[in-house]
Structure 1
């Protein structure tokens, strides 16, 4: 498995992955944030691939010296295989390389089901940023 920075050629498979994994409402919010983050800093959008197929992705952002995990998605047939955790760890390395002071997890209603995964990696409830604002407002 390979985890790397998003590339333009990944756009179609990533949007298909998001359509598959996310609810329609969550997809709309995520696509908007995804496009914005690509224009700001594409180094914080990572993809996981297996034999060239995109199977997972994570979107992060940095605002006021804080790193935020915004959205993570893994194809259903690849879930519970450690891909999400690898994406989280890889993005954490990017945050650490940029000397962010604190790393937070955006905990909106769409991320609630996976907060336990973050907890299993050592994050605590105090690391969850509960906001229903769009990424553009949080990181703008």
Structure 2
């Protein structure tokens, strides 16, 4: 049976890193899974969830809330479990936590070329908004080496 629960560092970290590398690939230092997990758990906001079956991690969702907007990040489902409704359950779990925190609107970003993922979010009621998404990497907080070798 699939359970969705909060992240537990002692049992989840390595499985999540493997899952994210399988699902997302990652090619930039600021998306390095070990760095992302370390930064998220240091925040201690309770908005990092994993889906498990037995002792295996098969899905994740991270959310963020700054008092103004909520965000979804790292919604990942193992390829063998995609199209099973698990992604929907993960998003609903994160949304429920954001609602409980008082959040009024949730945003997310994805590559414009990722049509399948856009269709998934549209099926959940998300809409493409006429916005320009801009970003800047703060290199001072992105280590130049792979953190996995340091763990």
Asked whether the two chains share a fold, i.e. TM above 0.5, the reply is yes
For residues 57-95 of structure 1, give each alpha carbon's deviation from its aligned partner in whole angstroms, at most 9, with x where no partner exists: 111111242110022111111111111111000000000
**RMSD over aligned Cα, in angstroms?**
2.7
TM-score by structure 1 length?
0.81
Q: Deviations over 1:29-69 (max 9, x none)?
A: 15233321211135111100112311001111112421100
Q: C-alpha distance in 1, partners of 2:108/2:69?
A: 10
Paired residues of 2:72 and 2:108 also in contact (CA < 8 A): yes
Higher relative strand content: 1
Q: Equivalences for 1:94-113 in 2 at 5 Å?
A: 94-108=97-111, 113=116
Paired with 1:82 and 1:29, the residues of 2 have a C-alpha distance of 26
Which of 13, 38, 44 lines up with 1:41 in the alignment? Answer: 44
Aligned residue for 2:141? Answer: none
Residue matched to 1:24: 26
Q: 2:146 matched to which residue of 1?
A: none
Match of 2:66 among 63, 84, 105: 63
Kindly tell me: are residues 109 and 11 of structure 1, through their superposed partners in 2, closer, same or farther at Cα, counting changes over 3 Å? Answer: farther
Q: Give the structure with higher Rg (CA).
A: 2
> How far apart, CA to CA, are the structure 1 residues paired with 2:47 and 2:83?
23
Q: Does 1:5 align with 2:3?
A: no
Give the helix-richer structure, 1 or 2: 1
Contact 1:104 1:129 in 2 (8 A): no
Task: Give TM-score scaled by structure 2 length.
Answer: 0.76
- Structure 1: segments with no counterpart, 5+ residues: 136-140
Counting matched residue pairs gives: 135
Match of 1:75 in 2: 78
